[in-house]
Amino acid sequence: MTGPLHRFRALPLRSRLALLVAVAVAVAVAAVAAACWFVTRAQLEHQADATLRSSNVDERYLTNLYNYCRGTAQIQPSPYSGLTVQLIDAQGTVCLAPDSSKLPVTRADLAVVNGEKGGALHTETDADGVRVRVFTYQVSVVGTGLPRTDLAVSVARPMSEINKPLSTLAWVLLAVSGIGVIGAGAAGLWIARSGLRPVDELTEAVEHVARTEDLTVRIPVEGEDEIARLSRSFNSMTASLATSRDRQAQLIADAGHELRTPLTSLRTNVELLARSDETGRAIPPDDRKALMSSVKAQMTELASLIGDLQELARPDAAQPGPLQVVALHDITRTALERARLRGPELTITAELAPWYVRAEPAALERAVVNVLDNAVKFSPPRGTIDVVLHRGELTVRDRGPGIPADELPHVFERFWRSPSARQLPGSGLGLSIVARTVQQSGGEIGLRPADDGSGTVATIRLPGAPQPPPETPRS
């Protein structure tokens, strides 16, 4: 159903604001104008009544008027311009000048004549149909030589003396109110346009981004109001989206680059095997064995790289899996067993104090395994790796070549690999996964050179406690 409210909501926002301002001003102006009119009317009526009460008619004129009505004297011109003067006796008989319009006699007037009331003030319509304000009070006059006290005089003024100024005032107020409302509507429209200009810019920017996918658009921010906050939020959002898209593009490019090397090597080896079968020229057993070993190694590297990419496919801001209370010392002990299998010639020492943390068990185990794998990969033959877990700080120290100081800031970047490690197996994603897992668990990770200058020390700090919570069974 279409109603006024629905039509109002269908208007543009600036039109609604201008209309609301105009309506609010109209209501305020109408209230002020009405109050002004009523106050003015009350003041004019009060002044008119005061004038009537103070208009005491001269006794000589009243005597002359009384004698004129009795036919014993000639009427003299009235000295009271604009006033109607009328005598009333106890029987309600009226006596007035010939050029005056008769006023009706009311019970209140008779009560004044009889002395029951001191005066009567009321509004009536005279014989000519003119609305008048009447004041009646008792008087005494001398008629035919004898004084009379049973008389009253009614003095009247036309209500037009009040109504005309009030009518003029009403038209003036109406004109001023109309001009005020029109001006308020124009001002409201101007204010709405000025105030909504940032919203228009934001709308244009959003439409531009939707149309062109250009995330470099920025809106100028002025002031500290809600519009400025909205503009800053939009700029922050587009900057984050641009950064996310750049990272996504960089991830795809880096992944393609990293996948190209094992795929090229694998393709070359497969082509050699296929050509041998097609030509019938057998490959020497030793070469064939080396070729198959290379194919197997490349497939293993591809599988590892694809697994790392799947791990990183989750957005950095994504929520981790369900957190559980896990024993970090047990996870480290399991990771140590796998590390010893990968480097049987290495000596790995371990001092593991109990420490319980809240983390995703599988992700945390993978992170510890990746740190130990790096230590095994870069350790020299028959080298030593020291692993210590003390009060939530896990340190893994190897005796490898170490990491140059200028390369330390890049070790946790995706696909970053030290120039000296280009020839070693790996995807360059391991430490990125470790860093994300540790941060999602509320911890910190860092790499630094060993104090004696030989090897690297990896440190993982995770919040926790040496004892499990009461509701968690001890591992």
% residues pLDDT > 70 (the chain): 82
**In angstroms, rounded to a whole number, what is the distance separating the alpha carbons of residues 327 and 465?**
10
Neighbours of 395 (CB within 10 A): 16
**In angstroms, rounded to a whole number, what is the distance separating the alpha carbons of residues 335 and 337?**
5
The mean per-residue pLDDT over the stretch 356-381 comes to 86
**In angstroms, rounded to a whole number, what is the distance separating the alpha carbons of residues 212 and 104?**
88
The mean per-residue pLDDT over the stretch 426-435 comes to 66
| 452, 399 Cβ separation under 8 angstroms | no
Tell me: do 306 and 172 sit in the same domain. Answer: no
**In angstroms, rounded to a whole number, what is the distance separating the alpha carbons of residues 271 and 135?**
128
Closest CA to 22 of 177, 181, 175, 173: 181
pLDDT at site 317: 39
Tell me: do 190 and 74 sit in the same domain. Answer: yes
Task: Classify residue 461: in a domain, yes or no.
Answer: yes
The domain in which residue 426 lies consists of 324-465
Tell me: do 363 and 460 sit in the same domain. Answer: yes
Q: Report pLDDT digits (tens) over 447-467.
A: 888 877 778 898 999 999 988
Of 292, 312, 332, which residue is a domain's last?
312
The mean per-residue pLDDT over the stretch 319-348 comes to 83
The mean per-residue pLDDT over the stretch 135-163 comes to 78
Which pair of structure tokens corresponds to residue 97? 């000048």
Angle value at C-alpha 275, between 272 and 281, nearest 5 degrees: 105
Tell me: do 103 and 181 sit in the same domain. Answer: yes
Indicate the residue type of 107: R
* Partners of 364 in beta bridges: none
**In angstroms, rounded to a whole number, what is the distance separating the alpha carbons of residues 41 and 59?**
33
Closest CA to 309 of 427, 416, 394: 427
Task: Classify residue 66: in a domain, yes or no.
Answer: yes
Strand, helix or coil for residue 444: strand
Tell me: do 162 and 250 sit in the same domain. Answer: no
Indicate the residue type of 204: E
**In angstroms, rounded to a whole number, what is the distance separating the alpha carbons of residues 82 and 158?**
8
pLDDT at site 453: 72
Which pair of structure tokens corresponds to residue 366? 């993978």
Q: Report pLDDT digits (tens) over 190-238.
A: 777 776 777 777 777 778 777 887 777 777 777 777 777 877 888 888 8
Strand, helix or coil for residue 100: coil
Tell me: do 145 and 256 sit in the same domain. Answer: no
pLDDT bucket at 441, cuts 50 / 70 / 90? confident
Q: 100 CB contacts (<8 Å, ≥6 apart)?
A: 78, 84, 85, 86
Tell me: do 24 and 97 sit in the same domain. Answer: yes
Task: Classify residue 218: in a domain, yes or no.
Answer: no
pLDDT at site 149: 63
**In angstroms, rounded to a whole number, what is the distance separating the alpha carbons of residues 449 and 333?**
24
CATH value at residue 366: 3.30.565.10
pLDDT at site 256: 65
Closest CA to 402 of 360, 437, 374, 443: 374
On the question of pLDDT at 318 being above 50, the answer is: no
Tell me: do 328 and 308 sit in the same domain. Answer: no
Which pair of structure tokens corresponds to residue 358? 């809240």
Task: Classify residue 470: in a domain, yes or no.
Answer: no
| 125, 101 Cβ separation under 8 angstroms | no
Angle value at C-alpha 400, between 397 and 401, nearest 5 degrees: 130
The distance from CA 205 to its chain's CA centroid, rounded to whole angstroms, is 18
pLDDT at site 315: 54
Number of domains in the chain: 3
Tell me: do 345 and 286 sit in the same domain. Answer: no
| 446, 459 Cβ separation under 8 angstroms | yes
Closest CA to 461 of 438, 440, 431, 432: 438
Task: Classify residue 471: in a domain, yes or no.
Answer: no
* Partners of 87 in beta bridges: 95, 153
The mean per-residue pLDDT over the stretch 353-365 comes to 88
Closest CA to 290 of 267, 273, 274: 273
The mean per-residue pLDDT over the stretch 358-364 comes to 85
Tell me: do 131 and 31 sit in the same domain. Answer: yes
On the question of pLDDT at 378 being above 70, the answer is: yes
Neighbours of 348 (CB within 10 A): 20
The distance from CA 314 to its chain's CA centroid, rounded to whole angstroms, is 31
Q: Report pLDDT digits (tens) over 240-290.
A: 888 777 767 766 765 665 566 567 777 887 887 788 777 877 778 887 787
Task: Report the chain's mean pLDDT, rounded to a whole number.
Answer: 79
Task: Classify residue 357: in a domain, yes or no.
Answer: yes
Higher pLDDT, 151 or 250: 151
pLDDT at site 284: 82
DSSP letter (8 states) at residue 319: P
Task: Classify residue 345: in a domain, yes or no.
Answer: yes
The mean per-residue pLDDT over the stretch 409-435 comes to 59
Of 154, 174, 195, which residue is a domain's last?
195
Least confident of 159-163, 187-191, 379-383, 457-461: 187-191
% residues pLDDT > 90 (the chain): 9
Strand, helix or coil for residue 99: coil
Tell me: do 236 and 258 sit in the same domain. Answer: yes
Sequence-ordered strand ranges (E) for 221-375: 324-327, 347-352, 356-359
Least confident of 26-30, 203-207, 471-475: 471-475
Task: Classify residue 385: in a domain, yes or no.
Answer: yes
pLDDT at site 422: 46
Least confident of 269-278, 293-302, 439-448: 293-302
Least confident of 40-44, 94-98, 139-143, 379-383: 139-143
Of 248, 278, 312, which residue is a domain's last?
312
The mean per-residue pLDDT over the stretch 15-23 comes to 77
Q: How many CA atoms lie within 13 A of 184 on its CB side?
A: 18
pLDDT at site 356: 93
Tell me: do 450 and 334 sit in the same domain. Answer: yes
